[in-house]
Structure formats: C-alpha cells, structure tokens
Structure 1
Amino acid sequence: MAEEQILFAVALTKLYGVGSQLTRLLVSYCGSPKAVFETPPGKLEKIPGVGTVLIRRIAEGKRSALLQAEEIVKRAEEEDVQLLFYTSPKYPDRLKQIADAPTLLYYRGNVNLNQRRIISIVGTRQITSYGQTVTERIIEDLKPYNVVVVSGLAYGVDVVAHRAALQAGLPTIGVMATGPESVYPAVHRKYAERMLSQGGLLTENSFGTKPDAPRFPARNRIIAGISDCTIVVEAALKSGTLITADIAHGYDKEVMAVPGNITSPVSEGTNYLIKSLKAVAYTSVQDLVELMNWDLQDEAETRFKAKASFDASEFNEEELKVLHVLQQSKEEHMDNLSWKSQVPVSALASVLLSLEFKGIVKAKPGKRFELLAS
C-alpha cells in the first residue's frame, strides 16, 4: 500500500466509533481509505448503516486522526514495524474470513503470514513436565511439514512452543496483547528477538499499549483466526485457553486437544474438549496430518507438479494464487476458487480468462475450472 494510503488507513482506525466492520464497509463503498475522508457527506449518507452521527465524527475527527496516524507511520518506519491494513496483500488471508478481524496489524518479522500451513499451539501457563514433553514432541514431528507455529508468547505452553520451534528451525509467530515495541512478559524478550529473524511478532495494538486484561481474549481471536488448526496441549476447565479453543471452533477452524491424566487439573480442559466433541484428540502428528488432509495435498501437489509445470515469472500475483489452489485440487468451482485464492469474484473472471488464453486452465460446465497438464 502506498505511503499516502497507509497514512489514511491508520487514521481510519483512530476515528472514534468506527470499528472494524464499519471500516470495511466505508472502504468498500468509497474505494480506498483516503476516499473515505474525501467523499462528500451527501454520498456517505447513501451508504447503508452510515448516518449523520458517523459523518460528523469523520469530519470532526479527521485532523486529529491524521496527526496520530503521522506519528504512528513515522515510528513504524523507525522501528521496522510493518503496518498491514486488511487490504494489503501481506495481511493474513485466513483472518480476512473472520468478521471481527482487526483492520490493521502491526508486524515485525520475516515470515510470510500467508504461508501454506500455519498451526497454533496454546495451553496453560502452569505447564507440567508431561505438557512440556508433548509440546516439544509436537514441534519436532511438525518439522517435515514446513509449518509456521503460532502462539501467544505467554508463560507455559506458549513459550515452550516458541522455543521448541526456534530450536527445530521452524518459523514461529508470537501474537501479542501489547504494542509492537513491547514484549510481555519481558523475560521472554530473548526468544522474541530471535523470532524476528525466524518468524515474527504480531499485534493489533498501537505503540504504547499496555497488556491490560481485556486485550488477551482479543489477542486469542487472532491466534485462532490466523491458523488452520489450534492444538490445545494442557488447559484448566475454566481458562483463557479454552476461550481460544471456543473461538477457533466458532470460526469453523479445526481444533485438536492432547488427552491428559484424568487426575491432573490442567488436563480437565483438554479432556472436556475431546469429550464434548469440540476437539479431535491429538495422539500423534498423523492425527493432524489426516485431519488436515496434508498427506493427500502433498500427494496431489507432487502429481500435478509433474504434469503441470510452469514458469512463475510468466504469471502475475493473482494468477499465481489461482494456480496454487488448482495445483492442490486440480479442479474447483469458481466460488470456491475465489475463497481459497483470496481473489475477488469480480476480478477472478478476467484472471481465469487470461489463464485459459495461456492454455493452462480449462473452463468446464457449472462454473468449474480445471488445471491442464503442460
């Protein structure tokens, strides 16, 4: 996103009473963050859900919001923080599917937030030796699958997962409840600094934000939303970890839980998730592989790479997104293709037409499209 647009994007997040859903609505109708501030009141009134109160807030709060945004953009440049508005191609596609996802993320790191496989590992702060052993084993077994490991950088299961990922050479992302310049708890700073070159640190909170209690449940929704599956290692029956599992379940994400000793308080939560069918039992990495169909995906990708090889330099970014999806499934309905590739339906038709002209995709009846062997 151009510097001017990111300035207005940040300013949008500083307008009083304009939440994430309303921000998306305004940008969708106006065309860009800058256009939201420049659209005449008469046109804003025609947007569903926009009334005179909101229009007045935009007009009265514009100057202050832009001043705050200038400070944030300047500091982000100084501290090497990426500002990812939800329209940015670097913004996590998995989060875009969630209604309450943040419109702006602050990110320090080097890993692709849209990497093919992302798994969250969460659990109690009062981790047992069993929990530590299991967490480390999960990470070790994930090495062949090139997985990004996400957690919350907290005591217990979180930091064990991050530490094990660093040792295993896997990228790992810490989702924080603070501003991007802070690490909480501070004792984990040494791991956080290593994660900047082998993963990253992600937050929705602006500079100077303290780790207040309400920010942790909000952080948990990002942990759940950014990943394909959330694995709960150990958790008490009433805990923030179970909240994360519930959020992931509500997002129609896969949830797994490690069975534990029935006499252990920190296994009550995981055993409950399995018993109530809110989670699939994790006993080995094969359980995860089968649940996520990774084995079938890898097999299909190997097969179609052999049949349909192409030079990536010959295609633009949106064409490559579509081809990546079709490499995994060979054939998709147009609606599914749009969702999986994160290419809007409005743009997808021309992308598919271009791929047809290039002789790599074939249109089939019922708005289905097939990847052809080259």
Structure 2
Amino acid sequence: MKTTQHTADELVAILRLQHVPNIGDVLAKKLISHCGSPSAIFEDKKQNLLKIDGIGTHTIKHLFDTEHLEAAEAEYNYIFKNDIKCTYFLDENYPKYLKHCIDGPILIFQKGNIDLAQRKIISVVGTRKITSYGTSFCEQFIEELAPLNPVIISGFAYGVDICIQREAVKNGLQTVGCLAHGLNQIYPKVHAKYQAEVLKNGGFYTEFWSTSKPERENFLKRNRIIAGVSEATVVVESAEKGGSLVTADIANSYNRDVFAVPGRTTDKYSLGCNNLIKQQKAHVMTSAADLIYLLDWDIEEKKNTPIQKQLFIDLDEIEQEIYTYLQNNGKQLLDSIALDCKLPIFKTSSTLLAMEMKGVIRPLPGKLFEAI
C-alpha cells in the first residue's frame, strides 16, 4: 500500500508512536485499540491513557514529547520523497502470517514488487559462514521447490541468506530480504550489487527508519519478522550458537513449523541444526520433499516436484525391523512401534531419529511416523 493511501496526518501519527521509547509493538497496538487510532492517542487525556495496563507516568511524559512529532515529520518527508511503500498492521495487505504475531511491527516499510497474496511463503536462514555442504543444499532445495513457486524470505546477509536469495532469483522465484536498518542503505555493502535483481522480483521489508543503522540489536529484532512473515522456517547450517537459532526459537513460539538440515556430528556448522533436531525443536529435512509433505502443500504439485531418492541405504537389524513394520502397517505411533517391535521406548525413539536422518522414514503431526 503506497503512503498516499494513508493521509499524511495518519502516517505521521503512526511514525510518532513508533518513535517513542519504551513503547514496543505490543503496547502500541494496545494503545491504538483503546483509543481507536494512532492520531486519537495524541488527542486523548493523559489520565485516560494512564488507565491502560503497561502505561505509566514516565511513558506518558515521553509520549507527548514534541521531539517525536518532529522526528516523525522528518521521516514522513523521506518516505514521501523516495516513494517508499508503507503497510500498517491493520491494512488488508499487511503480511497475513505476521498479522497473527502479537509483536509484529505496527508499520512495515518496503521497496520492490512484493506480492505475498495467495502464495506459499518460507523463510530460510543459517550461518554467515556457509560451507560447500550448505551451498549445495541451497541449490538443490530451491531447484526442487521451484515448480511450487514459493516466496523465499531471508535476511540478505552473508552466507546462507544471500546464497538462498540468489538461488531464488536464478530460478525465477520471488524473494524478500528483511533488513535490520533503513531502506536508504544496504548492509553488507558488498551485497548492493544484488539489490536490483531482488527488487525486480521481490524486494525488501524493514521496520527501521532511514536514521537506523545496522546495529546488533536490530538484527535480533529483525529475526521476528523473518520468522513471522512465513509459514515455516528452514535452518540450513548453524554453529552451536547463532542468530538463526534465535529465529528458529521465535518461529516455534509462533507455532510455526521449523526444519533443520542435519549434518555430521563433527561439523561445526551443523551443531546448531543437529541440536534443534535432537531437542525436537525442528523437523529433519533432507530434501524439499520433507517440507512439502509436512506442510501439506498441494498433492499435484508434490507429484510434479523432482525428489531425489537415495536408492541404497544401509540399515542395521533394528532399523530394518522398524522399516519393514512401517511398510506393512502404514502410519504408526511411537508407542505402537515400540510395543509391536518389542523394543524399549528410548531405543525406539533414538532409532527413529537415526532413520529419519537417513531419509527412510518421516515424522507426521500427532507423533506418527511412516516409511518413505
């Protein structure tokens, strides 16, 4: 939605509210709901606002400080002169999945040709120090997903982010970079050379003003948009700690599906993914087929999606017994598998995880498992 679809006064009021310290998106939405609109907040009496839970005298003092109005007017002028699109959280074209997030931004700035309506949307994140394993996975993953024409969301940063977004462009998919700074710059600067191709088929989202710099806390804040704007988040590679794991945790808190690409236990940049899987915070993903199946994307599209299968897989005696059982009996609960195969629960659980990583079974909603 272009800025002209909101009056100047409305947009300045939204910006003014956004600029007040100690008023995050949750409290801002509470104020808007109570008063009816952003502009009505600044017309209400202070004693009325103090009745709202979370609003104290300190916040009220800042709320009516004229410096926020002056800053909002300056930012409005920048937005207007640079034809930046603004989407308010109550607008119809505000990202539908982000609308369900209580802490979603009250205002998003965007550039490009972003169209999320009636589209499959996934976020892909990972380490800034991508390995050849991660690069190869990104290439294969996007190639397999391309027939479904999803939108690929990432952070336009080093490593997995730029790799997955460039692969999306190469395969003609729409891709959106969520930035941790204003639209007046690109960080890292070296990625400015990819800006035009992303703007052509996709674009950029940010909640940050033109005065914002790419500071550490902005990247952490930005991660909730990456997690919230999509229906699932994929972690390709991650060390034991990292921003992509924060994004995965946020996605889990939003009750979104999280997928992680497993790797060898000795590989530094697979530790984070392996831990997500081990802690049952993510589904194992060995190919796009796993995501397609668990998200229940269109059956015909699944049928036409190229899926690379491993023809010869070594299974030990217990794995083979479970695999044969699932082939003969279809989808089964963990408890049923353990009971019928006469195995302890802990042994069954660890064996199923090993088989999942080998790509011979897959988990289903409701703690079910089936053979592939």
Shorter-chain TM range is 0.7 to 0.9
Residues 82, 111 of structure 1: alpha-carbon distance in 2 compared, 3 angstrom cutoff: same
- Listed one character per residue, the Cα deviations across residues 252-300 of structure 1 (whole Å, up to 9, x for unaligned) are 110001121232111111122112211111122221111111125979x
**Residues 344-355 of structure 1 correspond to what in structure 2 (within 5 A)?**
none
The SS at the match of 2:200 is: coil
Are 2:115 and 1:112 aligned? Answer: yes
Corresponding residue to 2:294 among 270, 291, 294: 291
In 1, the alpha carbon distance for the partners of 2:51 and 2:244 equals 43
**Larger displacement relative to structure 2 (110-119 or 205-214):** 110-119
Report the equivalent of 2:27.
22
Amino acid at match of 1:285: A
In 1, the alpha carbon distance for the partners of 2:138 and 2:230 equals 17
Report the equivalent of 2:11.
6
Report the equivalent of 1:231.
234
CA contact (8 A) 2:134 2:237 kept: yes
The offset of 1:69, in angstroms, is: 1.3
**Residues 198-277 of structure 1 correspond to what in structure 2 (within 5 A)?**
198-277=201-280
Q: What percent of counterpart residues are identical?
A: 42
CA contact (8 A) 2:150 2:174 kept: yes
Residues 272, 54 of structure 1: alpha-carbon distance in 2 compared, 3 angstrom cutoff: closer
The offset of 1:58, in angstroms, is: 2.6
Report the equivalent of 2:146.
143
Give the root-mean-square deviation of aligned CA atoms: 1.9
In 2, the alpha carbon distance for the partners of 1:269 and 1:21 equals 30
The offset of 1:113, in angstroms, is: 4.0
**Structure 1: 5+ residue runs without aligned partners?**
300-374
Are 2:247 and 1:282 aligned? Answer: no
Are 2:80 and 1:73 aligned? Answer: no
Amino acid at match of 1:265: K
CA contact (8 A) 1:235 1:242 kept: yes
In 2, the alpha carbon distance for the partners of 1:208 and 1:166 equals 29
- Listed one character per residue, the Cα deviations across residues 189-212 of structure 1 (whole Å, up to 9, x for unaligned) are 121222112111111111131111
Residues 276, 198 of structure 1: alpha-carbon distance in 2 compared, 3 angstrom cutoff: same
The offset of 1:160, in angstroms, is: 0.6
Report the equivalent of 1:33.
38
The offset of 1:179, in angstroms, is: 1.3
Corresponding residue to 2:192 among 171, 189, 193: 189
CA contact (8 A) 1:149 1:173 kept: yes
CA contact (8 A) 2:148 2:301 kept: no
Report the equivalent of 2:182.
179
In 1, the alpha carbon distance for the partners of 2:269 and 2:21 equals 41
In 2, the alpha carbon distance for the partners of 1:52 and 1:244 equals 34
Report the equivalent of 1:56.
61
CA contact (8 A) 2:32 2:41 kept: yes
In 2, the alpha carbon distance for the partners of 1:262 and 1:47 equals 51
- Listed one character per residue, the Cα deviations across residues 205-245 of structure 1 (whole Å, up to 9, x for unaligned) are 11131111122111111111111111111111112211211
In 2, the alpha carbon distance for the partners of 1:263 and 1:48 equals 50
CA contact (8 A) 1:178 1:205 kept: yes
The SS at the match of 2:63 is: helix
The offset of 1:30, in angstroms, is: 1.0
In 2, the alpha carbon distance for the partners of 1:297 and 1:181 equals 42
- Listed one character per residue, the Cα deviations across residues 306-353 of structure 1 (whole Å, up to 9, x for unaligned) are xxxxxxxxxxxxxxxxxxxxxxxxxxxxxxxxxxxxxxxxxxxxxxxx
Report the equivalent of 2:3.
none
- Listed one character per residue, the Cα deviations across residues 172-203 of structure 1 (whole Å, up to 9, x for unaligned) are 01111111111111111121222112111111
**Residues 353-368 of structure 1 correspond to what in structure 2 (within 5 A)?**
none
The offset of 1:9, in angstroms, is: 0.7
The SS at the match of 1:221 is: helix
In 2, the alpha carbon distance for the partners of 1:213 and 1:247 equals 17
| Larger CA Rg, structure 1 vs 2 | 2
In 1, the alpha carbon distance for the partners of 2:211 and 2:53 equals 35
In 1, the alpha carbon distance for the partners of 2:271 and 2:298 equals 31
CA contact (8 A) 1:192 1:201 kept: no
Residues 50, 214 of structure 1: alpha-carbon distance in 2 compared, 3 angstrom cutoff: closer
CA contact (8 A) 2:147 2:301 kept: no
In 1, the alpha carbon distance for the partners of 2:99 and 2:262 equals 32
Amino acid at match of 2:11: I
In 2, the alpha carbon distance for the partners of 1:269 and 1:55 equals 43
TM-score by structure 1 length? 0.75
Residues 215, 115 of structure 1: alpha-carbon distance in 2 compared, 3 angstrom cutoff: farther
CA contact (8 A) 1:101 1:222 kept: yes
Report the equivalent of 2:167.
164
In 1, the alpha carbon distance for the partners of 2:146 and 2:251 equals 23
